[in-house]
Every structure is written in structure tokens, then in C-alpha cells.
Structure 1
Amino acid sequence: MSGRSTPIRLVVSDVDGTLVRHDKTLHPETIKAARELREAGITLCLASSRPPRGMEMYLEPLGITTPHAGFNGGQIVASDNKTILDELVIPEDAAKQAVEHMTAAGLDVWLFAGSGWYVRSSDGPYVAHEAEVTRNTFTVVDDFAPYLGKTNKIMASSKTFDLVGQVESELQGLLGAVASVNRSSPYYCDVTNVDANKGHAALALAKIAGVPPEAMACLGDMNVDVPMLKVAGLSIAMGNAAESVKAAAMVITGSNDDSGWADAIRAHVLPKAP
């Protein structure tokens, strides 16, 4: 663990693969540890690749009344899940190029713009799964063109995981200067504004909370989480995290399917409470 002595006043946590188990439920110890954070005066915020409303089901069980960041930082909303506090959209030309490239590669492409989720078919390989997990509703459209100028996130999926990784790499080369491209899971590739990343999200949430970055702890499991681990005073990788994520963290905890999140909070965050 880091030898820094700055008290931790804010925890920013990823959701999938970190806060929740693979079945998308909260471990009982996670709920208890969130309560212990509140009792210690430490604020808890969420930052996810999910749309903001896709985190709503976890706010009440965890006692969260703070803003949260969706779309990897592309949209930050108040606890009412309606008031947008900060928003970044993808440049229209980059959005068009991403959609065309993903489609040509054979991925199923979705657009998120404002509070809308737009798909070309309800039969895509992960549409029903995403709707169930995030409790979000989608709209089937024939053409994405009307939404390309106001898109917060483009998401593409495939059951061929290697193809998702290939497209991620190709788009990083094509759009690296104008958009952020990262896999949020083995089967999802996300495109957001170049400044919409978990680092931006964590810093924006810290600013809203009035907490300096050195007093913030961040937890994550995927490469998309590395930017926030790099700006945190205390960075924690889950035991199920990719090796590159573990290498970027100060602390490695247990897996998300076990009590890894709660264990990290109790062993490394609560001892540094203000």
C-alpha cells in the first residue's frame, strides 16, 4: 500500500467487474462496507461505462446520494438521475467513422445520445442482456444519422471477443486524436469523446465533492479504469482485473465475486478516514 498520509475523503468506484458480482448483484459485504464509508464521513461515487440510469438500481442499497458518471465520463448526472451536471459528445465526423468501421467489421452497433439508447435491431447479441442488466429501454431506428451530432457514447458488441479487441485496436489508431476507444468488457467496445474517460470522470466527481485528487481512492478492473487509477491518491485493482490494470494500481484486492471490494475498503480506505 502507498505510504501517502493524506486522509481519504472520496471513493470513486467502477461498477461492472468491481462493485458488483458477475451476476450483477451486490455482495452483502459490499453493502455493509458502503455504510461504513458513510459512517466514517467518506463520500462514495460511481463511474461506469454504463449510461447513468444503468446505475440507478445500486444507489439506494448503497446509500448513495451523490452524482455519478456514466459513459466513461461522457455524462455526469446528479443523484436524481435526470439533472446533467457535465456532458461531452463525440465529434460528428468521428462518430460517423466509428459507426461505419464497427458495422463493416460485423459488430452490432448502438448509440447513446442524451437519455436515449438507439439500436438497429432488438435481436442484437447483447441487446436483451444490456436492457436487463441496466434496466434501460432502447429505441429501434433505421438510421443513426439524426443522432451522430449529439452522441455521448457509441457501443459495439460481438460474441467473437477477438474481433472486439481487433476493432478496438483499429479504432484507437483511426480516432486516437479525437475520440477515446476502449473495451469495457470482453464483448463491448466503447467510443466516447477524447476527454471522456474514467480519469476525467473521477476528477470531475472529486471537484463536485470538493475533494482534491490526492484524497480520492479509485477502484477498477478493466483498462478503461486505468486513467482514474492514475489520478487517484489511492488506486485499487480487483483480483479479477487484467494484469495491465493491476500494474497501474497501488493495491490489489480480492475478486468482485468474493468480498474483494469490501475487503479493500476496510483494509486500505477506512484506516485513512479523515
Structure 2
Amino acid sequence: MTDEGICLLAGGNALTARPRLVAVDVDHTLIRSDGSLSQTTVDAVGEARAAGIVVTLASSRPPAGLWRYLEELGLIEPARFVALQGALVGTFDGAGVLTVQGTSPLETIDAVTAAAAAQSVGVVTNWYTATDWYVDALTEPVQREAAIVKMQPKLVSDLTRLPAPLKLLFIARRSGCLEELVSQLPNFVDAEVSNPAYLEITAAGVDKATGVRIAAERSSISLQDVVAIGDGRNDLGLFRNAGGSIAPANADESVLAEADYLTASNDDDGVAIALRWLATLPPR
């Protein structure tokens, strides 16, 4: 355990130099369980940036669901963020106007096939473009997600008429239905669990590492100069490609098994602790 409250996990690779970019997951990592940002975390993000570290939010949320946190952290244009499980890279200006800098959409035929599979097991399809969220039913899980991200979905009767999505989200309402759904999905999509009830669908080969790589390259940074902080199984693709990884104490067991370092939980300012420690490392 370091004096800063972060420890190297068994089998983890020790970091010896300050990263050039830190990619931070949002839900259950950056923000507290009540959805708030602590002032300690806001201050630590500012301190990391002052030390020359690029801080990039990397989330499965849609852009609109990230705006309030980006604004509070001061991560507006030219600061980039990664949304929709790595399928979108963009910036917001000070007025909240989105500029998309890169996308990795699903093929419409694959999305429609996945939606049909979801319907067969009684799961609602959440269909995301860069700016819109469509659903084929307004169920309680959908309304709960809307309350979390502070965004309202649009109810549609025919998903086949929509623009190609960047991401699909399926939310389980009963035990075992996600496993049943995964077995019916087309081969040309990636399916990642972001929490026990959420299944994120992107184009094959697309995950948070995809978006972070694009964001980093636009700042002439390689993934080996990136440290990832995250709690969920959908962060593991980024963990495996970044130069270092840090998990909060509340992370999924599979994430703790692959992380290099352990920090405090999201409710105990784990991201702030990690950022402040990273800023103390010698520059590359």
C-alpha cells in the first residue's frame, strides 16, 4: 500500500512513470452510488490535468448522459470523451453542443437481428445513435435507466426504419434471460456485461479500448501511455490494451483479478486517490 492509499495487486504490473492519459469509467467508478460527483474527485481531476495528464471519461452511457459530469469536471472542448461502450468519441463545447469525432456503428442488419432475438426472450431493445435513444417498449427497467442518465427515450414501433445504431442495450428482467439472449445473437456483434443486468452490444471488435485509442491518437498518445480506471466487466477490453489498470474496491471480481492496482471504492473517492497518486509519478 502506498502512502496515497493505492496498492499493487498480486500479479499486477507496477507503474513507474506518469501516464499521459487516464481513461475513467463513470458509473460505480467516477461517481458515487447516488450519482453525484464528490468535490474531492472534481479537485483531483483538475490537479491531474495540471500535472499534464489528459483525463478522458470512457463510459457505456450515451453522450447526453455524460454531459453534466463533463461540465462539472471542466472536461469540455477540446477535451474528448468516449461514450456508448467505445463506439463514439466526441467533445462538448461550453454550451453542451456535441461534436462527434469518431464512430464505430453496428450494421443495421446485425442490430435488427439482435433486436429480434431480444424480443424472442422478452427483453426490450434500447437503440442508441449519437444523439438519440429509441426503445420498442417503455418498461420499468427502461424508465429506471432514463432516471439514471437524465435522458428520455423515444418509443418506436419499427426499429428497422431507424438509423444504424452505435450501441444496443438489453436490460434483464429475469434471471438467465441474458445468457439465453447471448446464445441467439449474430456472430458479427460484441456482447459485454456492464453490470449483472445490462448487456451492451456493439459492432464486432468494438469496446472501450476502441474509443480510447481514437481519443488518445488524436493527442499523439499510444495506449501504452494510458492508464484505465474501471469497475465492470465491460472495462476489461480496455484494461488488456492500456499500459496500466486500476480498479476501485467495489469492482467486479473479474476486474479485480485483472487490475494492476486497487484503490478505494467509488463512495470513498477511489478515483481521486488514484489520480493524485498517478500525478506524483515521474514524467515519461
What is the number of residues matched between the two proteins?
267
What are the equivalent positions in structure 2 for 1:185-264 lying under 5 Å apart? 185-264=195-274
* Pair 1:53-2:67 in alignment: no
TM-score calculated relative to the size of structure 1: 0.91
Asked whether the equivalents of residues 6 and 215 of structure 1 are also in contact (C-alpha less than 8 Å), the reply is no
Asked whether the equivalents of residues 91 and 99 of structure 2 are also in contact (C-alpha less than 8 Å), the reply is yes
Letter in 1 for 2:153: F
* Pair 1:21-2:32 in alignment: yes
Give the structure 2 partner of residue 271 of structure 1: 280
Give the structure 1 partner of residue 5 of structure 2: none
Letter in 2 for 1:93: I
Give the structure 2 partner of residue 112 of structure 1: 128
Give the structure 2 partner of residue 131 of structure 1: 146
CA displacement, residues 141-177 of structure 1 (integer Å, 9 cap, x when unaligned): 1110112x5111111113325433x146425xx43x4
Aligned counterparts of 1:21 and 1:55: Cα–Cα separation in 2: 14
Q: CA deviation at 1:232?
A: 1.4
Query: Mind listing any 5+ residue stretches in structure 1 that lack a counterpart?
Result: none
**Is the helix fraction higher in 1 or 2?**
1
Aligned counterparts of 2:270 and 2:28: Cα–Cα separation in 1: 11
Give the structure 2 partner of residue 96 of structure 1: 112
Query: Mean alpha-carbon deviation: is it higher for 182-191 or for 128-137?
Result: 128-137
3-state DSSP of counterpart to 1:217: strand
CA displacement, residues 225-266 of structure 1 (integer Å, 9 cap, x when unaligned): 001111111211121111111121110112112221112222
Query: Mind listing any 5+ residue stretches in structure 2 that lack a counterpart?
Result: 1-7
TM-score calculated relative to the size of structure 2: 0.88
Letter in 2 for 1:51: P
Aligned counterparts of 1:145 and 1:116: Cα–Cα separation in 2: 15
Structure 1 residue runs of 4 or more that deviate by more than 4 Å after TM superposition: none
2:73 pairs with 59, 62, 67, which one?
Answer: 62
Q: CA RMSD in A?
A: 1.8
Asked whether the equivalents of residues 182 and 190 of structure 1 are also in contact (C-alpha less than 8 Å), the reply is yes
Q: CA deviation at 1:34?
A: 0.8
Give the structure 2 partner of residue 72 of structure 1: 85
Asked whether the equivalents of residues 222 and 242 of structure 1 are also in contact (C-alpha less than 8 Å), the reply is yes
Aligned counterparts of 1:168 and 1:26: Cα–Cα separation in 2: 34
Identity %: 29
Aligned counterparts of 1:261 and 1:194: Cα–Cα separation in 2: 30
Give the structure 2 partner of residue 32 of structure 1: 43
3-state DSSP of counterpart to 1:159: coil
Asked whether the equivalents of residues 41 and 273 of structure 1 are also in contact (C-alpha less than 8 Å), the reply is no
* Pair 1:83-2:83 in alignment: no
Q: CA deviation at 1:42?
A: 1.1
3-state DSSP of counterpart to 2:267: coil
3-state DSSP of counterpart to 1:83: strand
